[in-house]
Amino acid sequence: MAELTLVVNGRRAAVSSRSLGALLSELSYEGEWLATAVNGVVVHRDDRATHVLCEGDRIEILSPMQGG
């Protein structure tokens, strides 16, 4: 299967994942506390496994940070 080139958190990435849920696993993001968006549209946790990615999509993955 050919790789997709995406922009993940502002950086180009060549990935084999075809869904947002698979991408999170491929990039080693874990936990239910993540916030995700594709092309500026929030993708809810329950929809990540079925959200299909396309060449050139812009993915934002946000996770909480400690500190003040």
**What domains sit in the chain, N to C, each tagged with a CATH number?**
4-62 (3.10.20.30)
Query: What local confidence, expressed as pLDDT, does residue 1 receive?
Result: 65
Mean pLDDT calculated for residue range 6-35: 94
pLDDT at residue 63 tops 90: no
Which CA distances in Å does 21 have to 31, 52, 58, 67?
11, 9, 15, 28
Residue 26, H or E segment: helix 20-26
* Residues found in the chain: 68
Query: Taking the model in full, what pTM does it have?
Result: 0.89
